[in-house]
Chain A
Amino acid sequence: MRELTYRDALREALREEMLRDETVFLLGEDIGRYWGGAFKVTKGLAEEFGDDRVRDTPISESAIVGAAVGAAITGMRPVAEIMFGDLSALAMDQICNQAAKICYMFGGQTKVPLVVRTPFGAGVNIASHHSQSLEAWFMHTPGLLVAVPSTPFDAKGLLKTAIRGSNPVMFFEHKLLYPVKGEVPDENYTIPFGLADVKLEGEDATIFATLHMVQKALAAAQELRKQGTSVEVIDPRTLVPLDSKAIAKSVKKTGRIVIVTEDSKTAGTSAEIAAIIAEEALDYLDAPIRRVAEPDAPIPFSPSLEQYVIPDEKAIIRAVKEVV
């Protein structure tokens, strides 16, 4: 099968959906013909579809999402890009108070078919304002869907589903995943939301991981395999809706769970997953639930300190060894 980078897979999804449906359009800072997006996801699309459908915007995240919400409720399918996930804080009112609630507050008379794409994650030495992982903020807001693809295949399939849906989707990418290559079939496909994927089957312990942590979990699993421990890696792919059944099933099989996420630990994604496991699979746990997450601290600018706070393979291996 052909291999694409995560970046190219996302671009292919955008392009195919723009070809398929002329109400689909993109807006964001520097996504047009002069720059093609800070991470080059939209490179070449302005040339193909014109400046009207690939719109460069002023530097105002609130305006980007606000305009997109307005377009969405009047019949368009906007895909807004926020250059760094951290800056979604500037558009918080539009996302959490408007996009998330309009369908409900207008009694379903209008839908908000909106996608907000934005990258999270540390590891490229760009300091606290550009390195966070803030998925939990949006998981905590009813009315939003949250996608967290970890492979090119998932990125393409989930983005297409996000664009075709009728509810607002926070589509979270990861900076370090953009150049990562993976198999993506030629034929058209989509991936439904709320369907977890077992990235690696195993017997002794389950690792739950999202985004870039899936890569690290798989690397850790490979090392553990050499040491005789068989680890299962499960990726939820979407946090809202969450495939809690699949997570519980894996835990029931292995009896041990290590939750690996890049967001900070307190009240983070990992807290929710741990709670669900305790609620739905407690009687199958053979060891305490372990979490590997970032410490509760701003991401440091210093590269060595930054590497120190990001969960790595060693931390994952250590956590697995604690429970098996």
Chain B
Amino acid sequence: MVTKVVMPRLSLTMKAGTVVTWFKKEGEAVKRGDPLVEVLSEKVTYDVEAPSSGILRKIVETEGADVLVAGILGIIAEPNEQLPETDEAAVSPTSERIDAATPPLKKEMVKEVRERVLASPAAKRLAREHDVDIMEVKGSSPRGRIVEADVRQYLEEKEVHAPRVREVVHLTGIRRTTAERVSLSARTAPHSTVTMEVDMSSAVRLREKAQVSHTDILVKAVAHALEEHRSLNSTLKGEQIKIYEDINLGVAVATEKGLVVPVIKKANTKSLVQVASTLRGLVEKAREGRLTKEELAGGTFTITNLGMYGVEVFIPIINPPEAAILGVGKITQKPVTRNSKIEVKPMMYLSLSYDHRIVDGAPAAKFLQRVKQILEKS
């Protein structure tokens, strides 16, 4: 006798189910009542039992398939019995695939249900209390059931290997803000970085002449370059890239309490001397912790300098929601070739991290090239 194994209706609202596991292979003998195939509805897993004894002649729906209620999953028959047409439509008009419009049952759900661990309530409680992922604990009871003692042992073993804690510092204030913002940036903005070495000879001369800092010159040069490369002075919001009119340059300042980024508003409209005096004021206020909200808001691009710590080159994280950030290394006297002759020049690395969703490598490189040009001709 030919018997069809069908997708059961496990609840009133169930429309379809997923085939999770076949317990038998095609050609294997089955006995009526034996668990034959595990299926999953939105709510439960269920072992479909063999409706009759015989040979599992055909598996119609393989593991992972979504099948409508009453759809044929497989066929049981005698060894040499003639099977009906194996064409799916002929086997059953109801076994059609789920309409593409209805959301398919998620594979993750299958995984979740299958990986459910056998653990006692006490074991689960202890795991919860100590933030232990119960999946990592090995069960010692029959069938691998995890009991309280297993979690305890896991904790003890972890205790042995874990480093000893000297003190615990809570994330508060600037530290907390920084943690949140860099995570947001690293999580959402695909970072890419380009680097370039800059001859700072003329910048060094300008610095001495104008009594300004390297950073002031950098701010001015970057503001200038951004005027010509607007795509770097932008942000991505949803499906839109907003390109800013204002060029507001943030300068990262390390203080005792942590990193702050005061902003020089409309830096492109300011003279070098104006930039210098504005920045001096902002840095002073930053060190004293007196920066106002306004002075910290509205940045469109950030410059971060670790040169004073001897850093030659580093890869900065974009200050969200900006499009890019410029990392500045230290100025080093280095032998370089000029007209096939070796000369010693004050050299400095610039590294530009940019949000690859907004700009590609070529425009980023062109912008950086422009910054280099400006600095070398200043």
A287 near B: Cβ within 8 Å?
Answer: yes
Does A39 interact with chain B (Cβ within 8 Å)?
A: no
A284 within 8 A of partner (CB):
yes
Q: Which residue of A lies closest to B128 (CB)?
A: A283
Is B181 engaged at the interface, CB distance under 8 Å to the other chain? Answer: no
Tally chain A residues at the interface, Cβ within 8 Å.
7
A282 close to B (CB within 8 Å): yes
Cβ of B147 within 8 Å of any chain A Cβ, yes or no, is yes
Check: B186 CB closer than 8 A to any chain A CB. no
Closest-by-CB residue of A relative to B141 is: A287
| Residues of A with C-beta under 8 A to B124 | 283
Contacts of A282 in B (CB 8 A): 121
Q: What 0/1 readout, one digit per residue, does chain B (108-134) give for beta carbons within 8 Å of chain A?
A: 000000000000111111000000000
Q: Which residues of B contact A286 (CB under 8 A)?
A: 120-123, 147-149
Report the bound CA distance from A282 to B122 in whole Å.
7
Q: Are B125 and A283 in contact (CB under 8 A)?
A: yes
Task: Name A's interface SS.
Answer: loop
The smallest C-beta distance from B231 to any residue of chain A, in angstroms, reads 57
B120 to chain A, nearest CB (A): 4
Instruction: Scan A264-300; emit 1 where CB is below 8 A from any B CB, else 0.
Output: 0000000000000000001111110000000000000
- Which of B122, B141, B149 is the most central at the interface, judged by chain A CB atoms within 10 Å of its CB? B122
Q: Which chain A residues border B120 with CB–CB below 8 Å?
A: 255, 285-287
Binary A-proximity of B138-152 (CB < 8 A = 1, otherwise 0): 000100000111000
CB of A277, distance to nearest CB on chain B (Å) = 11
Smallest CB separation, A230 vs chain B (Å): 14
Q: Give the CA-CA distance A255 to B141 in the complex, in Å.
A: 14
Q: Which residues of A contact B149 (CB under 8 A)?
A: 286
Q: From A282, A285, A286, A287, name the one whose CB has the most chain B CB atoms within 10 angstroms.
A: A286
**Which of chain B's residues have a CB closer than 8 A to the CB of A284?**
121-122, 125
Residues of chain A within 8 A of B121, CB atoms compared: 282-286
> In the complex, which residues of chain A have a beta carbon less than 8 angstroms from the beta carbon of B141?
287
Q: In the complex, A285→B122 CA distance in Å?
A: 5
Cα(A15)–Cα(B148), bound, Å: 51
A285 / chain B contacts, CB cutoff of 8 Å: 120-122
Q: Which residues on A sit within 8 Å (CB–CB) of B125? A: 283-284
- Cα distance, A171 to B269, chains bound together (Å): 98
Which residue of chain A is the closest to B145 with respect to CB atoms? A287
A206 → chain B, closest Cβ, in Å? 13
- Tell me the smallest distance from the CB of A281 to a CB of chain B, in Å: 9
Q: Which residue of chain B has the shortest Cβ distance to A284 in the bound complex?
A: B122
Distance, CA A285 to CA B148, complexed state (A): 9
Q: How far is the CA of A283 from the CA of B124 in the complex (A)?
A: 8
Kindly provide the distance from the CB of A289 to the nearest chain B CB, expressed in whole angstroms: 11
Give A131 Cβ to nearest chain B Cβ, in Å: 37
Q: In the assembled complex, which residues on chain A have CB atoms less than 8 Å from the CB atom of B122? A: 255, 283-286
- Smallest Cβ-Cβ distance to A287: which chain B residue: B120
Contact with B along A179-203 (1 / 0, CB 8 A): 0000000000000000000000000
Complex Cα spacing A285 to B120, Å: 7
Q: How far is the CA of A33 from the CA of B103 in the complex (A)?
A: 85
How far, in Å, is B145 (CB) from chain A's closest CB? 9
- Closest Cβ neighbor of A255 among chain B residues: B122
Chain A residue with the shortest CB-CB distance to B150: A286
**Residue in chain B with minimal CB distance to A282:** B121
From residue A165, how far is it (CB to closest CB) to chain B in Å? 38
Measured in the bound complex, the distance between the Cα atoms of B58 and A251 in whole Å is 52
A285, closest chain B residue (CB): B121
Q: How far is the CA of A229 from the CA of B310 in the complex (A)?
A: 67
Measured in the bound complex, the distance between the Cα atoms of B331 and A318 in whole Å is 81
Closest A residue, CB atoms, query B124: A283
- Name the residue of chain A whose CB is nearest to the CB of B151: A286
CB distance from B234 to the nearest CB of A (A): 53
Q: Tell me the bound Cα distance from A286 to B123 in angstroms.
A: 7
- Report how far A282 CA is from B147 CA in the complex, Å: 13
Instruction: Give the CA-CA distance A282 to B121 in the complex, in Å.
Output: 6
State the Cβ distance, B154 to closest chain A Cβ, in Å: 15
Return A253 CB to nearest CB of chain B, in Å.
11
Bound: A282/B149 CA distance, A: 16
- Chain B residues with CB below 8 A from A287, complex form: 120, 141, 147
Which chain A residues border B123 with CB–CB below 8 Å? 286
Bound CA–CA A282/B123 (angstroms): 11
- A251: nearest chain-B partner, CB-CB: B122
* Minimum CB–CB distance for A324 against chain B, Å: 10
Bound-state CA distance A286–B147 (Å) is 6
Beta-carbon nearest neighbor of A322 in chain B = B142
Taken residue by residue from 19 to 37, chain B's Cβ proximity to chain A (1 for < 8 Å, 0 otherwise) reads as 0000000000000000000
Least distance between A218 CB and chain B CB atoms (Å): 26
A57 smallest CB distance to B (angstroms) = 52
Interface string of A62-95 (1 = CB under 8 A from B): 0000000000000000000000000000000000
A260 to chain B: closest CB distance in Å?
21
Q: How far is the CB of A280 from chain B (nearest CB, A)?
A: 12
Instruction: List chain A residues, Cβ under 8 A from B147.
Output: 255, 286-287
How far, in angstroms, from A284 to B129 measured CA to CA in the complex? 12
User: What CA separation (Å) do A91 and B173 show in the bound complex?
Assistant: 75
Chain B neighbourhood of A255, CB < 8 A: 120, 122, 147-148
Cα–Cα, bound, A287→B150 (Å)? 13
Q: How far apart are B143's CB and chain A's nearest CB, in angstroms?
A: 12
Per CB-CB distance, the 5 closest pairs between chain A and chain B, nearest first, are: A286-B122, A283-B125, A286-B120, A286-B148, A286-B147
4 extra A-B contacts, CB within 8 A, seeds A284-B122, A286-B149? A255-B120, A255-B147, A282-B121, A286-B147
25 sample A-B contacts, Cβ–Cβ < 8 Å, listed by A number: A255-B120, A255-B122, A255-B147, A255-B148, A282-B121, A283-B121, A283-B122, A283-B124, A283-B125, A284-B121, A284-B122, A284-B125, A285-B120, A285-B121, A285-B122, A286-B120, A286-B121, A286-B122, A286-B123, A286-B147, A286-B148, A286-B149, A287-B120, A287-B141, A287-B147
Residue ranges of B at the interface with A (Cβ–Cβ < 8 Å): 120-125, 141, 147-149
Name A residues whose Cβ lies closer than 8 Å to a Cβ of B.
255, 282-287
